[in-house]
Amino acid sequence: MSAPRVRFAPSPTGSLHIGSARTALFNWLYARRHGGTFILRIDDTDAERSTEESTSSIFESMKWLGLDWDEGPYAQSDRLELYQERARQMIENGAAYFCYCSKEELAAKREAARKEGRPYRYDGTCRNLSDSERKRLDSEGRPKVARLKIEPDESILTPDLILGDVVFDSSTLDDFIFMKPDFTPLYNFSSAVDDADMNITHVIRGQDHLPNTPKQILISKALGMEPPKFAHLPMVHNARGQKLSKRDGAVGTLEFREMGFLPEALVNYLARLAWSAEGEQEIFTTEELKAKFDLDRVGKSPSRFDLKKLTWLNGQYMNEKPLSEKTEGAALFLNKAGYEPENAERLERIVEAVGDRLHTWPDIVTYGSYFFEEDGAYEFDPAAVKKWFRSEAELETVRAAESLIESIDPFEVDEIDKRMRAWAEERGEKLIRVLQPLRVAVTGKQVGPSLLETLEILGKESVLNRLERASEELPKMYAQKG
RNA sequence: GACCCCUUCGUCUAGCCUGGCCUAGGACACCAGCCUUUCACGCUGGCGACACGGGUUCAAAUCCCGUAGGGGUCACCA
């Protein structure tokens, strides 16, 4: 097989949908796997809906995911002349014709068909217009669109690398419009023309495009060109098994960055939607994906997007990150949450202490926010208080801890550990019965890194301040819940 | 409604093409236990699926037919 040429051709009418990102990824992977060329083409023939912002957000999404393109970006809006030339060619050789029916007339016919419960197809009113009629309509200045002439009762075979052969009956198609009144192309036309012109060998796209395929094949043939090979990817669905939409939460690729996911984890997750390697491997570096991916192991059935599995995967990747990188990411997300970790060294210690609790970046806030809050400002989690302050005894522990903390020197993990254990024993308490109430007292939470480390990082003075405040605040909460 | 696609644990999937190795494997999630100052990690175990009905065959998740369910598309959008 000669080197494949594939393309990703999004329309810039919004941010890059996560399903489209998967399509882009599979194209990219296919090109990389086979030493082919990955082309980026912006299908912006719909001037009304296309925006600059969308285009740049698509670029940014792809860059974030690491999907680099070898050619392009091409914009269809720059290639108008090509489409117009091809369209004229088709009109001339009789493969297509101009249609003068107005939008309103057509809408009425469509509506009538709908009411009668029969499928609407263009009735061919303008298909056999005589030259004189055409001239008359032109001289009246009637707007016209171009339609493809489709012969009925022909089967159109669309071989698909994933689905196998799919056959459409041309009678279910109608003479569809491919050039608008302003003589600019519609999607199916520009797409087929470009795929041919750019020598695209494989069109890998979502299954929602399957109904377009026979139309594009017809256009290719009308132009005397060999259609590319097709591969229709199963859709990515929401938890209820329907097309993923904004209502389902995050669907924009960049939103996942905002939520604190790692691009390599997202790539890994997306790759495993409908694709699997031989063996039972779940975690693939991008390099492995580039070496192993192929279309013959892509499934046919739709898959549901599972945020929990993505989160798990992300955690796996997170744990592999060097501390310096983790610290950088943590700083970024801490900032987003309104915290300002001023001391870089201290932040690194905190990130290290939080350790593998980091599944996504915002987890740094969940597990370590109190490190960045004033001694008198962190909040007490009511659930934590309820669970660990069951009687007067725990309040007493917090009060008594002040003098213990005061006396620990040096105030470091090993020493704190030694003294804490001895203290618990002295008081006839299990270690956990003193540590957890203290944790809640100084952090406000019942989860987090090792308390000993937490105390050391906080420092003696801060711990003392916090214990003092807890002694005042906790009884109030304690009283409230009775 | 018409056309097209799909159907293995709750979810992602392996197995299907080239029937027997499938008392259907792995992963996420969930549950339990272990480890542990909590949480998280890790480890161990558990729960849990061939949509249904007919064939074909000595033998079917795998092949054939039908039914049901789900999804996608039906624009002078892409």
In tens, the pLDDT along A369-416 reads 999 999 989 999 999 998 998 888 889 999 999 999 999 889 999 999
Give the CA-to-C1' distance from A157 to B56 in angstroms. Answer: 30
Rounded CA separation A374/A260 (Å) = 25
Residues of chain A (307-326) having a beta carbon less than 7 angstroms from strand B: 308-309, 311-312, 315-316, 319
| H-run or E-run covering A372 | none
Residue A177 Cβ under 7 A from any strand B atom:
yes
As a 3-state breakdown, chain A gives helix, strand, coil percent values, each rounded to 5, of 55, 10, 35
Residue A274 Cβ under 7 A from any strand B atom:
yes
C1' nearest to CA of A145: which nucleotide? Answer: B76
pLDDT band (50, 70, 90) for residue A1: low
Residue A170 Cβ under 7 A from any strand B atom:
no
How do A37-42 and A5-8 pair as beta strands? parallel
Residue A428: half-sphere exposure toward Cβ, Cα within 13 Å: 1
The encoded tokens of residue A254 equal: 């960049």
Q: Which member of A63, A103, A135, A246 is catalytic?
A: A246
Residue A301 Cβ under 7 A from any strand B atom:
yes
Model pLDDT for residues A409-442, shown as the tens digit of each residue: 899 999 999 999 999 999 988 999 999 999 999 9
- Is A321 noted as a catalytic residue in this protein? no
C1' nearest to CA of A306: which nucleotide? Answer: B11
Q: Is the pLDDT of residue A41 over 60?
A: yes
> What's the pTM value of the predicted model, to 2 decimals?
0.95
- Protein-proximal nucleotides of chain B (any atom < 7 Å from a CB): 1-8, 10-16, 25-29, 37-42, 70-78
Find all residues with CB under 8 Å of A388, minimum gap 6, and list them: A394, A436, A437, A439, A440, A446
Model pLDDT for residues A218-264, shown as the tens digit of each residue: 999 999 999 999 999 999 999 999 988 888 888 999 999 999 999 99
Cis bond leading into A211, ω under 30°? no
Conformational region of residue A35, where left means phi above 0, alpha means psi within -120 to 50, and beta covers everything else = left
| Three-class DSSP category at A293 | coil
Residue A208 Cβ under 7 A from any strand B atom:
yes
Q: Which residue is nearest to nucleotide B6 (CA to C1')?
A: A301
